[in-house]
Amino acid sequence: MTVALVGVMVVFGIGLGSAAAAGAHVYWTAHSAIGRAASDGSGVDQGFIATAAGPGGVAVDGHHIYWTQGVGSAFAIARANQDGSGTDPNFITGLGTEGAVAVDAQHIYWQDYVDGAFTIGRADLDGSGVDHAFLHVAGGGFQGWLAVDGQHIYWTWTTSDGAGYIGEANLDGSGVNESLIALGAGIQPAGIAVDAQHIYWTEFNLPGQDYSVGRAGLDGSHVDQLLIDHAGEDADGMAIDAQHIYWGVPADHAVARADHDGSNVNMNFISGIPSSPGEYYPSDVATEPGTLSVSKSGSGAGTVASAPAGIDCGQSCSGVFEDETSVALTATPGPGSVFVGWSGAAAAREPRRARSP
């Protein structure tokens, strides 16, 4: 006799309106601290983690907060629990510089400097498998910030003679394209963020505009370097959630926010961010990713896996994905079992999209 295996997926946050999702947060770097606030701007805590030693980049997954930091010439990636407890200042050590950090469902990535050249490092989420030169990029130039989605890693960089580019590679390090988007001579891109449709970035020295926010398709098409044409002096690191883009404005000690289409710009969404003379904070901004969870019903046996990776149920029945990532689920019945179908949100024909909880 065969026994039915019925998969049920519960998707947190589907159908979010204009109001901020309960429990979602935005994070930023500050003087010796990581700050945090609710995604509607309330509950500002400028010293959420008060032991960050000169933080550079910051990234968040469903469990931890990561940031780069340095004292003198000793650079490292620090990690804390998402509630701010359990800080490990030496989670990954031996970095050659202090800069960008990004995270996906399987790996942490960071800006590094090895043998006189900028690289992108990578490690497993538990800190093992450290590779300080996972990708060699931007030969002879200056590498900026990083972003990842379910398929690619993206970075901003500037050549030694001042031309700006956005690069791309597959998550396994193959398919490197250092000129996915050519921004032009004299353009210096900085922060970068991605969602399911677009790449966003901050840039400096666009003729007549100084600092701006740009946007393009994920394939590098439809480039708009003036999505937001007055993005604030020293516009820097970026983040994105289901409704907004965020970026640091160190000259104003603020985090700015706008809608995805560049409207409703708020240059002082979070203000009063601590910074000492000679420092540029907030240098980076991060948001919490979305979480998808799967449960199985019936007395049968089988597994459910996701693409991109993150759910393997069996063992791991929830996964963390960047906001607006399309997630395909595949059910595989075990011997003597039959997969009957999906119920709940997974019954929809379209792939599920992860959104902030």
Residue 258 belongs to some domain of the structure: yes
Same domain, 239 and 307: no
pLDDT of res. 206: 59
Q: Which of 3-12, 135-144, 153-162, 244-253 is predicted with the least confidence, judged by mean pLDDT?
A: 3-12
Residue 256 belongs to some domain of the structure: yes
At 150, which amino acid appears? G
Same domain, 326 and 253: no
Average pLDDT over residues 68-78: 88
Structure confidence by residue, pLDDT tens digits, 219-235? 999 999 999 999 999 99
Residue 19 belongs to some domain of the structure: no
The whole-chain average pLDDT of the chain stands at 84
Same domain, 265 and 301: no
Same domain, 179 and 312: no
Average pLDDT over residues 67-74: 85
Instruction: Please check the confidence at residue 213 and state whether its pLDDT lies above 70.
Output: yes
Structure confidence by residue, pLDDT tens digits, 262-287? 999 999 999 999 887 777 799 999 99
Instruction: Please check the confidence at residue 78 and state whether its pLDDT lies above 80.
Output: yes
Same domain, 284 and 300: no
Sheet of 64-71, strand order: 58-60, 64-71, 74-81, 88-95
Residue 264 belongs to some domain of the structure: yes
Total domains present in the chain? 2
Same domain, 314 and 276: no
Please spell the DSSP secondary structure of 35-88, one letter per residue: EEEETTS-S-EEEEETT-SS---EEE-SSEEEEEEEETTEEEEEEEETTS-S-E
Q: How confident is the model at residue 7 (pLDDT cuts 50, 70, 90)?
A: very low
Instruction: Please check the confidence at residue 51 and state whether its pLDDT lies above 60.
Output: yes
Same domain, 228 and 161: yes
* Structural domain containing residue 275: 25-289
Same domain, 45 and 157: yes
Task: Report CA-CA distances (Å) from 274 to 52, 65, 145.
Answer: 13, 19, 22
Same domain, 268 and 349: no
Domain boundary at 289, 309, 331, which?
289
Same domain, 158 and 212: yes
Look at residues 193, 233, 195 and name the one whose alpha carbon lies nearest to residue 212: 233
pLDDT of res. 324: 56
Domain boundary at 289, 318, 336, which?
289
